[in-house]
Protein backbone atom coordinates (compact mmCIF):
# COMPACT_ATOMS: atom_id res chain seq x y z
CA UNK A 1 0.00 0.00 0.00
CA UNK A 2 3.02 2.28 0.12
CA UNK A 3 3.44 2.24 -3.68
CA UNK A 4 1.08 2.87 -6.60
CA UNK A 5 1.60 1.17 -9.96
CA UNK A 6 0.34 2.65 -13.27
CA UNK A 7 0.43 1.11 -16.75
CA UNK A 8 0.07 3.48 -19.74
CA UNK A 9 -0.79 1.71 -22.99
CA UNK A 10 0.76 2.49 -26.37
CA UNK A 11 -2.25 4.55 -27.47
CA UNK A 12 -2.63 6.39 -24.16
CA UNK A 13 -1.17 9.24 -22.20
CA UNK A 14 -1.41 9.55 -18.43
CA UNK A 15 -1.72 12.69 -16.32
CA UNK A 16 0.07 12.25 -12.99
CA UNK A 17 -1.76 14.29 -10.35
CA UNK A 18 -0.99 14.85 -6.68
CA UNK A 19 -3.40 16.66 -4.43
CA UNK A 20 -5.22 18.05 -7.50
CA UNK A 21 -2.05 19.46 -9.08
CA UNK A 22 -0.64 18.25 -12.40
CA UNK A 23 2.87 16.89 -12.01
CA UNK A 24 3.67 15.27 -15.32
CA UNK A 25 2.35 13.61 -18.51
CA UNK A 26 3.27 9.92 -18.64
CA UNK A 27 4.35 8.30 -21.89
CA UNK A 28 3.49 4.61 -22.60
CA UNK A 29 5.06 2.26 -20.04
CA UNK A 30 4.79 0.89 -16.49
CA UNK A 31 5.29 3.25 -13.54
CA UNK A 32 5.57 2.84 -9.75
CA UNK A 33 5.23 5.75 -7.32
CA UNK A 34 5.82 6.14 -3.60
CA UNK A 35 2.41 7.08 -2.19
CA UNK A 36 1.96 6.58 1.56
CA UNK A 37 -1.10 8.76 2.10
CA UNK A 38 -2.84 7.98 -1.21
CA UNK A 39 -2.34 11.47 -2.56
CA UNK A 40 -1.27 10.35 -6.05
CA UNK A 41 -3.67 9.67 -8.96
CA UNK A 42 -3.18 9.01 -12.65
CA UNK A 43 -5.83 9.81 -15.28
CA UNK A 44 -5.50 7.96 -18.60
CA UNK A 45 -6.59 9.51 -21.94
CA UNK A 46 -6.74 8.30 -25.54
CA UNK A 47 -3.73 9.90 -27.21
CA UNK A 48 -5.27 9.93 -30.70
CA UNK A 49 -6.89 13.06 -32.06
CA UNK A 50 -8.32 15.88 -29.96
CA UNK A 51 -7.67 16.30 -26.22
CA UNK A 52 -10.96 17.63 -24.81
CA UNK A 53 -10.31 17.41 -21.05
CA UNK A 54 -10.38 20.59 -18.90
CA UNK A 55 -6.77 19.70 -18.04
CA UNK A 56 -5.80 20.84 -21.55
CA UNK A 57 -6.47 24.55 -20.97
CA UNK A 58 -4.98 24.32 -17.44
CA UNK A 59 -1.86 22.64 -18.80
CA UNK A 60 -1.42 25.38 -21.42
CA UNK A 61 -1.76 28.16 -18.85
CA UNK A 62 0.08 26.71 -15.85
CA UNK A 63 2.55 24.36 -17.55
CA UNK A 64 3.30 25.84 -21.00
CA UNK A 65 6.53 23.90 -21.47
CA UNK A 66 4.80 20.61 -20.73
CA UNK A 67 1.89 21.53 -22.99
CA UNK A 68 4.24 22.47 -25.83
CA UNK A 69 5.92 19.07 -25.56
CA UNK A 70 2.81 16.85 -25.70
CA UNK A 71 0.07 19.02 -27.23
CA UNK A 72 -0.56 20.92 -30.48
CA UNK A 73 -2.72 23.92 -29.59
CA UNK A 74 -4.76 25.60 -32.32
CA UNK A 75 -6.16 29.05 -31.57
CA UNK A 76 -7.97 30.98 -34.34
CA UNK A 77 -8.36 34.73 -34.63
CA UNK A 78 -11.29 36.62 -36.14
CA UNK A 79 -11.51 36.53 -39.92
CA UNK A 80 -9.72 33.21 -40.35
CA UNK A 81 -10.21 29.47 -39.95
CA UNK A 82 -7.77 26.68 -39.27
CA UNK A 83 -8.01 23.33 -41.04
CA UNK A 84 -6.48 20.59 -38.91
CA UNK A 85 -5.16 17.51 -40.69
CA UNK A 86 -4.32 14.32 -38.83
CA UNK A 87 -1.89 12.13 -40.76
CA UNK A 88 -2.61 14.19 -43.90
CA UNK A 89 -6.42 13.91 -43.75
CA UNK A 90 -8.63 16.93 -42.93
CA UNK A 91 -10.26 16.28 -39.59
CA UNK A 92 -11.62 19.56 -38.26
CA UNK A 93 -12.22 23.18 -39.12
CA UNK A 94 -11.54 25.46 -36.13
CA UNK A 95 -13.65 28.62 -36.10
CA UNK A 96 -12.63 32.09 -34.91
CA UNK A 97 -12.47 32.37 -31.12
CA UNK A 98 -12.04 28.62 -30.62
CA UNK A 99 -9.07 26.88 -29.02
CA UNK A 100 -8.54 23.19 -29.72
CA UNK A 101 -5.81 20.85 -28.41
CA UNK A 102 -4.47 17.74 -30.16
CA UNK A 103 -2.10 15.08 -28.85
CA UNK A 104 1.31 14.87 -30.42
CA UNK A 105 3.08 11.62 -31.05
CA UNK A 106 0.66 9.08 -32.49
CA UNK A 107 -0.80 11.44 -35.14
CA UNK A 108 0.99 13.90 -37.34
CA UNK A 109 -0.83 17.17 -36.77
CA UNK A 110 -0.82 19.78 -39.55
CA UNK A 111 -2.59 23.13 -39.25
CA UNK A 112 -3.46 25.30 -42.28
CA UNK A 113 -4.72 28.80 -41.55
CA UNK A 114 -6.95 30.51 -44.14
CA UNK A 115 -8.03 34.14 -44.27
CA UNK A 116 -11.73 33.73 -45.06
CA UNK A 117 -12.26 37.48 -45.45
CA UNK A 118 -9.74 37.76 -48.27
CA UNK A 119 -10.40 34.28 -49.74
CA UNK A 120 -14.05 33.37 -49.19
CA UNK A 121 -14.15 30.82 -52.04
CA UNK A 122 -12.47 27.42 -51.81
CA UNK A 123 -10.41 26.05 -54.65
CA UNK A 124 -11.52 22.86 -56.40
CA UNK A 125 -8.80 20.89 -54.64
CA UNK A 126 -9.77 22.25 -51.21
CA UNK A 127 -13.46 21.53 -51.75
CA UNK A 128 -12.74 17.97 -52.86
CA UNK A 129 -10.35 17.33 -49.97
CA UNK A 130 -12.57 18.79 -47.26
CA UNK A 131 -15.71 17.03 -48.49
CA UNK A 132 -13.88 13.70 -48.16
CA UNK A 133 -12.77 14.46 -44.62
CA UNK A 134 -12.97 11.88 -41.84
CA UNK A 135 -15.58 14.04 -40.08
CA UNK A 136 -17.61 15.50 -42.99
CA UNK A 137 -20.40 16.91 -40.85
CA UNK A 138 -17.92 19.02 -38.89
CA UNK A 139 -16.14 20.22 -42.01
CA UNK A 140 -18.57 20.64 -44.90
CA UNK A 141 -21.77 20.68 -42.85
CA UNK A 142 -21.06 23.89 -40.90
CA UNK A 143 -18.01 25.75 -42.12
CA UNK A 144 -18.46 25.22 -45.87
CA UNK A 145 -21.49 26.01 -48.04
CA UNK A 146 -21.58 24.27 -51.42
CA UNK A 147 -23.30 25.68 -54.52
CA UNK A 148 -24.11 23.64 -57.65
CA UNK A 149 -24.97 25.46 -60.90
CA UNK A 150 -26.42 23.60 -63.90
CA UNK A 151 -25.32 23.82 -67.52
CA UNK A 152 -27.98 26.38 -68.52
CA UNK A 153 -28.08 28.24 -65.21
CA UNK A 154 -26.48 31.22 -63.50
CA UNK A 155 -25.70 31.01 -59.79
CA UNK A 156 -26.04 33.98 -57.43
CA UNK A 157 -24.24 33.77 -54.08
CA UNK A 158 -25.23 36.04 -51.20
CA UNK A 159 -23.21 36.83 -48.06
CA UNK A 160 -25.61 37.89 -45.29
CA UNK A 161 -28.21 38.79 -47.94
CA UNK A 162 -25.83 40.85 -50.10
CA UNK A 163 -24.91 39.68 -53.60
CA UNK A 164 -21.27 38.57 -53.56
CA UNK A 165 -20.66 36.31 -56.57
CA UNK A 166 -22.23 35.51 -59.96
CA UNK A 167 -21.25 32.01 -61.04
CA UNK A 168 -21.37 30.01 -64.25
CA UNK A 169 -22.01 26.26 -64.49
CA UNK A 170 -20.03 24.15 -62.00
CA UNK A 171 -19.73 23.27 -58.33
CA UNK A 172 -18.34 25.73 -55.80
CA UNK A 173 -17.60 25.98 -52.08
CA UNK A 174 -17.60 29.03 -49.80
CA UNK A 175 -16.42 29.51 -46.25
CA UNK A 176 -19.46 30.02 -44.06
CA UNK A 177 -17.54 31.48 -41.14
CA UNK A 178 -18.61 34.80 -39.69
CA UNK A 179 -21.27 35.07 -42.38
CA UNK A 180 -24.36 33.32 -43.67
CA UNK A 181 -23.97 32.04 -47.22
CA UNK A 182 -27.05 31.50 -49.36
CA UNK A 183 -27.38 30.83 -53.09
CA UNK A 184 -29.97 30.93 -55.83
CA UNK A 185 -29.79 29.46 -59.31
CA UNK A 186 -31.58 31.05 -62.28
CA UNK A 187 -32.43 29.17 -65.49
CA UNK A 188 -31.48 31.28 -68.52
CA UNK A 189 -33.48 29.26 -71.05
CA UNK A 190 -36.88 30.32 -72.43
CA UNK A 191 -39.36 28.90 -69.95
CA UNK A 192 -43.12 28.72 -70.75
CA UNK A 193 -45.38 30.61 -68.38
CA UNK A 194 -49.01 29.49 -68.50
CA UNK A 195 -51.50 32.27 -67.71
CA UNK A 196 -54.67 30.51 -66.60
CA UNK A 197 -58.14 31.45 -67.81
CA UNK A 198 -59.69 34.62 -66.44
CA UNK A 199 -63.18 36.05 -66.96
CA UNK A 200 -63.14 39.09 -69.28
CA UNK A 201 -66.05 41.19 -70.58
CA UNK A 202 -65.68 42.31 -74.22
CA UNK A 203 -66.75 45.66 -75.63
CA UNK A 204 -70.10 44.18 -76.76
CA UNK A 205 -70.76 42.77 -73.26
CA UNK A 206 -69.87 39.14 -74.00
CA UNK A 207 -68.20 37.25 -71.15
CA UNK A 208 -65.36 34.98 -72.20
CA UNK A 209 -62.32 33.27 -70.71
CA UNK A 210 -58.85 33.63 -72.21
CA UNK A 211 -55.73 31.54 -71.55
CA UNK A 212 -52.27 32.57 -72.75
CA UNK A 213 -48.76 31.16 -72.97
CA UNK A 214 -45.71 33.40 -72.57
CA UNK A 215 -42.09 32.33 -72.95
CA UNK A 216 -39.91 34.11 -70.39
CA UNK A 217 -36.13 34.28 -70.74
CA UNK A 218 -33.75 35.73 -68.14
CA UNK A 219 -31.17 37.99 -69.76
CA UNK A 220 -29.43 39.29 -66.60
CA UNK A 221 -29.84 36.98 -63.63
CA UNK A 222 -28.70 39.42 -60.95
CA UNK A 223 -30.98 42.21 -62.16
CA UNK A 224 -33.96 39.83 -62.50
CA UNK A 225 -33.58 38.55 -58.95
CA UNK A 226 -32.87 41.91 -57.30
CA UNK A 227 -35.36 44.08 -59.22
CA UNK A 228 -38.55 42.26 -58.18
CA UNK A 229 -39.31 39.64 -55.50
CA UNK A 230 -40.44 37.07 -58.08
CA UNK A 231 -39.97 37.89 -61.76
CA UNK A 232 -42.27 35.05 -62.91
CA UNK A 233 -45.13 36.31 -60.75
CA UNK A 234 -44.40 39.86 -61.92
CA UNK A 235 -44.67 38.85 -65.59
CA UNK A 236 -47.79 36.82 -64.81
CA UNK A 237 -49.61 39.86 -63.36
CA UNK A 238 -48.54 42.13 -66.21
CA UNK A 239 -49.87 39.64 -68.76
CA UNK A 240 -53.19 39.46 -66.94
CA UNK A 241 -53.57 43.26 -66.99
CA UNK A 242 -52.55 43.43 -70.67
CA UNK A 243 -55.13 40.77 -71.62
CA UNK A 244 -57.92 42.65 -69.87
CA UNK A 245 -57.00 45.86 -71.64
CA UNK A 246 -56.68 44.29 -75.10
CA UNK A 247 -59.80 42.10 -74.96
CA UNK A 248 -61.97 44.56 -73.03
CA UNK A 249 -61.53 47.19 -75.76
CA UNK A 250 -62.68 44.90 -78.58
CA UNK A 251 -65.89 43.19 -79.62
CA UNK A 252 -66.15 39.42 -79.71
CA UNK A 253 -65.80 39.32 -83.50
CA UNK A 254 -62.65 41.45 -83.35
CA UNK A 255 -61.12 39.18 -80.71
CA UNK A 256 -61.88 36.04 -82.72
CA UNK A 257 -60.86 37.46 -86.12
CA UNK A 258 -57.81 39.54 -85.11
CA UNK A 259 -55.88 37.14 -82.87
CA UNK A 260 -52.53 38.27 -84.26
CA UNK A 261 -53.34 41.93 -83.52
CA UNK A 262 -54.47 41.07 -80.00
CA UNK A 263 -51.27 39.07 -79.38
CA UNK A 264 -49.11 41.94 -80.66
CA UNK A 265 -50.90 44.48 -78.45
CA UNK A 266 -50.57 42.28 -75.36
CA UNK A 267 -46.85 41.69 -76.05
CA UNK A 268 -46.19 45.41 -76.56
CA UNK A 269 -48.02 46.30 -73.33
CA UNK A 270 -46.11 43.71 -71.28
CA UNK A 271 -42.73 44.75 -72.74
CA UNK A 272 -43.45 48.41 -72.03
CA UNK A 273 -44.57 47.87 -68.45
CA UNK A 274 -41.88 45.28 -67.71
CA UNK A 275 -39.05 47.74 -68.18
CA UNK A 276 -35.41 46.76 -67.81
CA UNK A 277 -35.44 44.10 -65.10
CA UNK A 278 -33.22 41.65 -66.95
CA UNK A 279 -36.15 39.58 -68.28
CA UNK A 280 -37.32 39.28 -71.90
CA UNK A 281 -40.61 37.96 -73.29
CA UNK A 282 -39.46 35.72 -76.12
CA UNK A 283 -42.98 34.96 -77.36
CA UNK A 284 -46.54 35.54 -76.19
CA UNK A 285 -49.87 34.45 -77.61
CA UNK A 286 -53.47 33.58 -76.83
CA UNK A 287 -53.85 29.85 -76.43
CA UNK A 288 -57.62 29.39 -75.93
CA UNK A 289 -60.74 31.57 -76.03
CA UNK A 290 -63.53 29.88 -74.07
CA UNK A 291 -67.10 31.13 -74.60
CA UNK A 292 -70.21 30.49 -72.46
CA UNK A 293 -72.40 27.58 -73.56
CA UNK A 294 -75.25 29.73 -74.96
CA UNK A 295 -72.90 32.00 -76.87
CA UNK A 296 -71.00 29.02 -78.26
CA UNK A 297 -74.25 27.45 -79.54
CA UNK A 298 -75.29 30.77 -81.12
CA UNK A 299 -71.96 31.18 -82.88
CA UNK A 300 -72.17 27.59 -84.13
CA UNK A 301 -75.55 28.40 -85.68
CA UNK A 302 -74.16 31.52 -87.35
CA UNK A 303 -71.22 29.58 -88.72
CA UNK A 304 -73.54 26.82 -89.93
CA UNK A 305 -75.75 29.35 -91.74
CA UNK A 306 -72.72 30.99 -93.35
CA UNK A 307 -71.36 27.66 -94.53
CA UNK A 308 -74.80 26.64 -95.90
CA UNK A 309 -75.05 29.89 -97.85
CA UNK A 310 -71.56 29.39 -99.23
CA UNK A 311 -72.44 25.82 -100.26
CA UNK A 312 -75.58 27.06 -102.08
CA UNK A 313 -73.59 29.69 -103.94
CA UNK A 314 -71.03 27.10 -105.02
CA UNK A 315 -73.77 24.68 -106.10
CA UNK A 316 -75.53 27.35 -108.19
CA UNK A 317 -72.22 28.36 -109.72
CA UNK A 318 -71.51 24.76 -110.72
CA UNK A 319 -75.02 24.31 -112.15
CA UNK A 320 -74.62 27.41 -114.28
CA UNK A 321 -71.24 26.20 -115.49
CA UNK A 322 -72.68 22.77 -116.34
CA UNK A 323 -75.63 24.31 -118.21
CA UNK A 324 -73.31 26.60 -120.14
CA UNK A 325 -71.19 23.60 -121.09
CA UNK A 326 -74.28 21.70 -122.34
CA UNK A 327 -75.37 24.71 -124.37
CA UNK A 328 -71.98 24.96 -126.03
CA UNK A 329 -72.07 21.22 -126.81
CA UNK A 330 -75.58 21.52 -128.33
CA UNK A 331 -74.44 24.37 -130.56
CA UNK A 332 -71.50 22.32 -131.82
CA UNK A 333 -73.72 19.33 -132.61
CA UNK A 334 -76.23 21.59 -134.39
CA UNK A 335 -73.58 22.76 -136.78
CA UNK A 336 -71.82 19.39 -137.13
CA UNK A 337 -73.96 16.30 -138.10
CA UNK A 338 -71.05 13.95 -137.68
CA UNK A 339 -70.56 15.05 -134.05
CA UNK A 340 -74.31 14.59 -133.50
CA UNK A 341 -74.07 11.07 -134.91
CA UNK A 342 -71.14 10.23 -132.62
CA UNK A 343 -73.14 11.41 -129.61
CA UNK A 344 -76.01 9.17 -130.66
CA UNK A 345 -73.66 6.18 -130.95
CA UNK A 346 -72.21 6.92 -127.45
CA UNK A 347 -75.70 7.00 -126.02
CA UNK A 348 -76.53 3.73 -127.85
CA UNK A 349 -73.42 2.14 -126.36
CA UNK A 350 -74.47 3.08 -122.84
CA UNK A 351 -77.99 1.77 -123.45
CA UNK A 352 -76.85 -1.54 -124.94
CA UNK A 353 -74.61 -2.24 -121.94
CA UNK A 354 -77.79 -3.12 -120.03
CA UNK A 355 -79.27 -5.30 -122.80
CA UNK A 356 -78.51 -9.00 -122.71
CA UNK A 357 -79.30 -9.81 -126.40
CA UNK A 358 -80.05 -7.77 -129.55
CA UNK A 359 -81.08 -9.07 -133.01
CA UNK A 360 -80.43 -6.80 -135.99
CA UNK A 361 -82.28 -7.57 -139.34
CA UNK A 362 -81.15 -6.37 -142.68
CA UNK A 363 -84.64 -5.46 -143.78
CA UNK A 364 -85.86 -1.90 -143.45
CA UNK A 365 -83.39 0.65 -142.31
CA UNK A 366 -81.36 -1.91 -140.29
CA UNK A 367 -79.13 -0.38 -137.67
CA UNK A 368 -80.42 3.13 -138.37
CA UNK A 369 -83.91 2.07 -137.30
CA UNK A 370 -82.58 0.71 -134.04
CA UNK A 371 -80.66 3.90 -133.39
CA UNK A 372 -83.65 6.06 -134.21
CA UNK A 373 -85.97 4.07 -131.98
CA UNK A 374 -83.58 3.79 -129.00
CA UNK A 375 -81.63 7.06 -129.14
CA UNK A 376 -82.16 9.99 -131.44
CA UNK A 377 -80.99 13.50 -130.65
CA UNK A 378 -82.50 14.89 -133.91
CA UNK A 379 -84.97 13.58 -136.52
CA UNK A 380 -83.08 11.70 -139.19
CA UNK A 381 -84.56 13.62 -142.05
CA UNK A 382 -83.43 16.92 -140.64
CA UNK A 383 -79.98 15.50 -139.90
CA UNK A 384 -79.62 14.14 -143.44
CA UNK A 385 -80.89 17.38 -144.87
CA UNK A 386 -78.26 19.25 -142.92
The string of pLDDT tens digits covering residues 60-92 is 999 999 999 999 999 998 989 999 999 888 888
Q: Is the pLDDT of residue 382 over 70?
A: no
Q: Is the pLDDT of residue 148 over 60?
A: yes
pLDDT in tens, 169-198: 999 999 988 889 999 999 999 999 998 877
Q: Contact 139/177 with Cβ under 8 angstroms?
A: no
DSSP letter assigned to residue 50: B
**Band of the pLDDT at 386, cuts 50, 70, 90?**
very low
Percent of the chain, pLDDT > 90? 44
Q: Is the pLDDT of residue 364 over 70?
A: no
d(CA 248, CA 142): 56
d(CA 360, CA 370): 8
d(CA 5, CA 42): 10
d(CA 379, CA 76): 129
Give the DSSP letter string of 185-229: EEE-S-EEEEEEEEEEE-TTS-EEEEEEEEEEEES-HHHHHHHSS
pTM greater than 0.75 (yes/no): no
105 or 365, higher pLDDT: 105
Q: Is the pLDDT of residue 266 over 50?
A: yes
Q: Contact 190/216 with Cβ under 8 angstroms?
A: yes
Homologous superfamily (CATH) for 191-290: Band 7 domain (3.30.479.30)
Q: Describe the strand order of the beta sheet including 279-290 as a list of residue ranges.
A: 191-201, 207-218, 279-290
- Average pLDDT score over residue span 145-159: 94
Q: Is the pLDDT of residue 107 over 80?
A: yes
d(CA 74, CA 56): 12
Measured between alpha carbons, how far is residue 384 from residues 221, 338, 339, 365 in Å?
A: 97, 10, 13, 14
Amino acid sequence: MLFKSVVVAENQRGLLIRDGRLLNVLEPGRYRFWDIAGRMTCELFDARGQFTSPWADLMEKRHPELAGRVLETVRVREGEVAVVKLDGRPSMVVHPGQTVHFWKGLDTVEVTRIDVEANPMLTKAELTAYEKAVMPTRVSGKAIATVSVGASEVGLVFFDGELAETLGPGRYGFWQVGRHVSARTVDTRSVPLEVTAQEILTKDRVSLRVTLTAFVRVREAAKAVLSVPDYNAHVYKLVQFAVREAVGGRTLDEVLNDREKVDAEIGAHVTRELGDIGVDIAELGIKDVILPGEMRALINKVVEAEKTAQANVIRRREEVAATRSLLNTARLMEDNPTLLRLKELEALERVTEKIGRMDVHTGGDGLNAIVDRLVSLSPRGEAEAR
